[in-house]
Structure 1
Amino acid sequence: MPTAPFDLLPSADPTAETIRADILENPGFGRYFTDHMAHVRWTNAAGWHGHQVRPYGPLTLDPAAAVLHYGQEIFEGIKAYRHADGSVWTFRPEKNAERFRRSARRLALPELDDETFVESLRALIAQDRNWVPTPASEADECSLYLRPFMIASEKFLGVRPSQEVDYYVIASPAAAYFKGGIAPVSIWLSSNYKRAAPGGTGYAKCGGNYAASLAAQKEAEAHGCGQVAFLDAAENKWIEELGGMNLFFVYKDGRLVTPKLTGTILEGVTRDSVLELARDEGLSPEERHISIDEWREGAASGEITEVFACGTAAVITPVGELVGEDERIRCPEGDNPIAKRLRKRLLDLQYGRAEDTRGWLVQLA
């Protein structure tokens, strides 16, 4: 079935060009938002309908809306990149759409098709194209961060799937996620909290997973760390992921190891891309269980030469040390060459500086 067109309701009070220019000079991350948002409604009776791009603004929710009481919601994170010729592209949106459907199934929400997902991005960019930053140089990682999300909006109190749901896309101009850029970050090893358990929602991108990580993130910040790493809930020994990123371990023999997906780890789009690009760099990617002891011993012996985290927001960021209650696992001193090479490969693709031989880029405008 063809995707329904998105009707346009233009903002009567768009951001002044001078104000937008000032914002794009120093956008930070997630601080400012564009003039419009995309919206599609779903009801049990009518299915998906009411496709619109309308002015960005507050939502009206009944105090009894299901999302407020039962947390039935999901979201995605994806970026729009301006290329040198002024065109605007996004990266592997079908992977985000696929993950969005998996998350929807786990949270008992209606599934959105690929075409509507991608067209909602395209419709929003068509109206807010001027909000996509133009990189000043190859070192400038500015982009427009797109946040599709779905919420249960039916007015009722009772534990059952909502029969009314709203899907939105909002957009925020973004600079590099970490202020230090490519500088290695310190990671806190959580011993008090778990991110996910078998049979839970670990593989779904839902707000509850992130809310549950915030206490651990506060611990991390109290110990001078920028992120938190979680161990598995069953044996408390296997590395899973960070609060918002996947992890990779580089071995001196050329292996590139990332924790295996077992239903408790988010299947990152950047993670999947790194696994493919690694082969182009002559590395041998592996997805398998890796224990905290292997990290500890590998770092001490020099068998593990680099550790890095990856995600849409942060791209690829080296890990300098893992900080625990009574220890510090320091990564070998070095310049993180593998992380930097993979990061450059990924960014060159996304910004159109390298040939897209895999068809990963989709033009939005």
Structure 2
Amino acid sequence: MNKPAATNTPALSPRWLTFAIHLLCLIIIFILPDVVLSKSLNITGQSWRMYSKSLIYVAVFYINYYLIIEHCINKSKWVLRLAVSNLILLIISLLLIAFIFIPPSGHMSKPPHYSGSAEEYIMLRHATFLLRETTMIILTVGLSVAMKLSDNWIKITRQHDQMLAIQRKEELESLKRQLNPHFLFNTLNSIYAQIALSPNSAQNAVHQLSSLLRYVLYENAPSVPLSKELDFINNYVKLMSMRIGNRLPVKLNLDPGGHDNLHIAPLIFICPVENAFKHGNTGMPDAEITISITCSNTIVECLIINHTAGNENIKNSGIGLGNLQRRLQLIYGERAKMTSQLSDNIFVFNLKIDLSSF
């Protein structure tokens, strides 16, 4: 069935959307009350005056938002510049409003109930009117300053978050670039040792290595299915077992627990698995390596146990666990818990990752 063609409706740009939101706020806060008041009092013949004053409010807001604040914000003594510029804008706006609304003195008459003189009444009317309009314009200026500073803060925060995301991505790529040659050189050394002893075994190892490198070098996605990562670990263990033979038995348990489609960061288990073979005590009888990676309720757990030759520096060996700890912090944060312990020449590594939101 053919899908209906999508309509190419142009979306509002963020700038126009901001403009529309501001205009709506101005209408609701400053313009709508005057319109409702004029309608309720049945004021006729002066609608143009009311709308002219509303346009002045709108002009004050946008002149301040797009011109004055932009001009002052990055300058020295910007608060003083902003205050002086808005004072000038206030005076100009009051003069325009006074020209539109305040009639000549001869056209104003004192109401009968007012006990003072006509001059006092006119001055009082003018002062009350100007005080009200001054307050409204100051509120308009304050609203524009608040919205502009808020928009700038959001913009700066967004830029900061984008910069952190870029730095985080670059750091992860750097860590991965460190991991790849580290893994490659150790594996090549293992194959090199096999060439003289068993050429056929070395040939099989090269073939096995090619599939591993295909995953290591070309898996650039931020996450891969858990089953794919476990297949990679399985192939690596086969390659290492081919080199070591029966000198270091391996007890392997890779069980996604039915969560094959859960995604995990690639190459997350290779460092501790590699360290287990690197530091495993091949000269000790029954010194097997236990590698268990299982998943239950979206929690994947990696448990690795191996005997060592008394090397107390295993926990800080090479790039290894330090690299892994940093990757876990960058990718998972508090959702990853990694521990390692060396006791009586037995090294125990444990890693738990919550993949529920990855």
TM tier, smaller: under 0.3
Task: Kindly name which structure, 1 or 2, has the bigger radius of gyration based on alpha carbons.
Answer: 2
Structure 1 or 2: more strand by fraction: 1
Asked which structure has the greater RCO (Cα within 8 Å, sep 6+), the reply is 1
Structure 1 or 2: more helix by fraction: 2
